[in-house]
Structure 1
């Protein structure tokens, strides 16, 4: 660890892995349930043409709530919870790659950038099929005319719906239309979105934390500084990568095969402003996510410290 660093970073070898994974699953699930409505709104805003359905984030929120109820804001949530697997894969990859890179460089920016990018590569390989399915479910209701697939309503009145029945319905349609490759539609676009996003977020997170530590009183708890740094890093990363996120959403929902052609059509139809679609919803979802994630993640690492190291970390 660099001696000049004011905020100590708890590394992989400092952790009790059993505690780390047990607490981690609960933390990830809580975060996803909290921000899912903003994720759904962001997807609908990015896919719509111009302002044909919603004029903005808050307009979308109230329209969905009024016409579809609270359940409308959580369409596809159950299948989306499977991303818990990719979340754990992300954390593990990030920490292990940081440990590996530290053998060649002690520069924290280098470790964070490389580890963040690799972690996103592994996580997206697991997440993309889940995203493809959950995004199609998100678009049902008011947004169903914007997607290729619509739920078949063949259940008899009064009979309870089968668990994951809608998910199986959409999966069957995707497979029938595109085969197995359909579940990885937009994979390249996802990598081009989330690898840079992750690679940018971690270095900026540590950068903002360090800058804030220089301004804050010496007795200021590190967790407060980290809680402020997380949302700042999230807003920065979201702004930088939002254009590719818009393209990714359209490729996956509309069934396009070319990232470049989708980008060109977006620019042609909606100009440069089209690249900012859903940005406010993305920031609204990513900043509190980052706040909860940072507080939860840093607390998680603190709680997972090996017993002999507990008294050696300033909090």
Structure 2
């Protein structure tokens, strides 16, 4: 019985022992892998951003028409507008995020352990706190990247200004609004990404534990293979991405429009909300939901597989250590 309980508690166990983690692999290899994921999914972010800031009478009102328009006018490079800015800031931002995530999760698990919560609930709370804290720390780097890259993504589209690269965006924003112009929408970014990150990691942590319980039901006599582990992690990533995108898209739409149009048209958050409601009603807050849903689910799945790969050696050892031969178990 003791071994059976240990096995049940280990299902979906992905909390990394920070002291034993290979930091070189985590940061150096991880930076390369996350860059690859960003390259693959970046066009979806461009499409989502354009849909969110399109004027009411814009000709391109769905994802396919946006893609066709970009390919027609700019070719494949059009799908990567602002990519240089994003990839330059992605590495330090990702390091900050992952470091804060892992250290906070370890502390959060210790904090909630005395509460004797169910394992999925415990995982949801600890992962949620870790995701929220990591997002708060990383916004100092992410927000300026967002402001610059999103302006480049929509330049010349639906009446938006054109720029000569990221430095030109920075110069014009600083000239118009000062340093705070690069942090336009910071409050909304925190309100969007912190809950989104919390929901994502909470959903991921609890859903994969739930999946493990369904798959095993306490009857498995041997440790799961790496393929099975990765499938469960991927399923957890999809569920987490879908949940987070549905809950936080309205705030993301407001934030994106404010960051792109704010200094050009004198908009604030209240005016953006009024404009959306006036033009399209409440459904306007869900502009770009399809691409965002796909992006968060696809990014979540690929990101979590990359993330778990970086800690796979430790996790596989932890999972398999919970399984002992039948003759050694205490029934």
Q: TM-score range by the shorter chain?
A: 0.7 to 0.9
The answer to whether structure 1 residue 210 and structure 2 residue 209 are counterparts is: yes
Aligned counterpart in structure 2 of residue 151 of structure 1, from 133, 147, 163: 163
Aligned to 1:179: 178
8 Å CA contact 1:24–1:88 kept in 2: the answer is: no
Partner of 1:116: 131
Q: Which has the higher helix share?
A: 2
Deviates more, 1:57-66 or 1:261-270: 261-270
**Residue in structure 2 matching 1:7, options 9, 12, 37:** 12
Q: How many residues are aligned here?
A: 294
Deviations 1:193-225 (A, max 9, x none): 101100101111122212222333554622111
* TM-aligned CA deviation for residue 51 of structure 1: 5.5
Counterparts of 1:206-245 in structure 2, within 5 Å, are 206-216=205-215, 218=220, 219=224, 221-245=228-252
- Alpha carbons 1:105, 1:111 under 8 Å: kept: yes
Is 1:74 equivalent to 2:73 in the alignment? no
- Contact between 2:123 and 2:206, CA under 8 Å: does it hold in 1? no
2:287 corresponds, among 277, 291, 307, to 277
Could you tell me which residue of structure 2 aligns to residue 291 of structure 1? 301
- Cα separation, 2, equivalents of 1:55 and 1:293: 29
Q: Which position in structure 2 is the counterpart of 1:198?
A: 197
Q: Distance in 1 between matches of 2:187 and 2:231?
A: 37
Of 8, 16, 19 in structure 1, the residue corresponding to residue 22 of structure 2 is 16
TM-score normalized by structure 2? 0.83
Kept in 2, the 8 Å contact 1:234–1:286? The answer is: yes
Please name the residue that 2:70 is paired with. Answer: 64
Q: Aligned residue for 2:44? A: 38
1:86 matches 2:93: yes
Within 1, Cα distance between the matches of 2:166 and 2:15? 39
1:159 equivalent in structure 2: none
**TM-score of the superposed pair, with normalisation by structure 1:** 0.87
Aligned to 2:110: 103
Coordinate RMSD, CA, aligned:
2.0
Unaligned runs of 5+ in 1: 153-165
Preserved CA contact (<8 Å) 2:261 2:267: no
Paired residues of 2:144 and 2:183 also in contact (CA < 8 A) = yes
What SS does the corresponding residue of 1:182 show, helix, strand or coil? helix
Structure 2, unaligned stretches of length 5 or more? 114-121, 322-331
Is the partner of 1:104 in helix, strand or coil?
helix
| Cα displacement (A) at 1:93 | 0.3
Q: Distance in 2 between matches of 1:200 and 1:51?
A: 34
After the TM superposition, list the runs of 4 or more consecutive aligned residues in structure 1 that deviate by more than 3 angstroms. 217-220, 309-315
Match of 1:248 in 2: 255
Deviation at 1:257, TM superposition (A): 5.3
Residue 60 of structure 1: how far off its partner (Å): 1.1
